[in-house]
Amino acid sequence: MQQRRLGTQGPMVSALGLGCMGMSEFYGPSDDAQSLRTLARALELDVTLFDTADTYGLGHNEQLLGRFIAEGGPVRRQRMVLATKFGIVREAGRYERRIDNSPAYIQAACEASLRRLGVEQIDLYYCHRRDPAVPIEDVVGAMARLVAEGKVAAIGLSEVSQQTLRRAHAVHPIAAVQSEYSLWSREPEQGMLAACAEQGTAFVAYSPLGRAFLTATVAADQLAENDFRRHNPRFIGEAEAHNRRLVAALGEFAKARGWSNAQIALAWLLNKHPHVIPIPGTRRIAYLESNVAAADITLTAGEIAELDHLFDAAAIAGERYPEAGFAGVER
């Protein structure tokens, strides 16, 4: 597995991480036993970056990772780089959320995450979403105090603007920015990727497979009733039909080279940018193994350009979130 660094002074991590959200919520029913087996297989495959948040399953996802760590002991913990987040506050059974960036909340949220994870230190702690009413200097100041207390090793931001990143970095080094980035979500190319490279900040790409749409293995009408993708604009009606034609073209590109859609989508990210770390999520070992194989794919400049053209931002139909999902996202 390739290695990439979290920030200029952060740890080296696997070039592909594992997004753990779907093991607890949003993508239909999950099974803890299955998820634990997938986590174990990820470590066997030298995946070292594991991404969670306090809002995923309202704490369940952190508890699941905590159980996994406890069952493996100190050796397992030493091999893992744990990333979690604060800032999204939700009620059980509801997608709508409010954002809390107050320093007191940050301190309390961190301590709660440490308890659920069962660890003494969080390796990478993100502000999950921004409350514009709280100056970013105050947010990062509170996070920097957690670093000084030894509760956090490095800090990151999620779905922020370039301006916010630069202001934050002036207070304390930002090891990583996490935002959605994939063939069909190209917004980070409008300056954020360059800003991260300029400051030595890693860019962690979540939903690098377009919430599995790019894999050509899902259809909205076949999703579980509690799967939030049923309400995602890109999975609905004419937008879905339009986007499916793009995915079919991706399939032809991938098949001609002996790879899957998912592997090409991940290889595109890894080959384009040396500081990008995709974190595809899955509950299934077979998909995990397939994703990890993408780290060995080399794409030519011509192939990257062909994919860039196929998934030009103007060619994508629908917003990447329903309106409620944009709470705290700096656009």
- Please choose, from the candidates 186, 188, 182, the residue with its C-alpha nearest in 3D space to the C-alpha of residue 159: 188
CA atoms of 34 and 296, how far apart (whole Å): 26
Q: Which of 56, 181, 206, 287 is catalytic?
A: 56
Q: Decide if 321 is catalytic.
A: no
- Please choose, from the candidates 238, 290, 235, the residue with its C-alpha nearest in 3D space to the C-alpha of residue 265: 290
CA atoms of 288 and 281, how far apart (whole Å): 8
CA atoms of 325 and 219, how far apart (whole Å): 20
In the 3-class helix/strand/coil scheme, how is the chain assigned residue by residue?
CCEEECCCCCCEEECCCEECHHHCCCCCCCCHHHHHHHHHHHHHCCCCEEECCCCHHHHHHHHHHHHHHHHHHHHHHHHCEEEEEECEEECCCCCCEEECCCHHHHHHHHHHHHHHHCCCCEEEEEECCCCCCCCHHHHHHHHHHHHHCCCEEEEEEECCCHHHHHHHHHHCCCCEEEEECECCECHHHCCHHHHHHHHCCEEEEECCCCCCHHHCCCCHHHCCCCCHHHHCHHHCHHHHHHHHHHHHHHHHHHHCCCCCHHHHHHHHHHHHCCCEEECCECCCHHHHHHHHHHHHCCCCHHHHHHHHHHCCHHHCCCCCCCHHHHCCCCC
CA atoms of 27 and 280, how far apart (whole Å): 13
Active site positions, annotated:
56
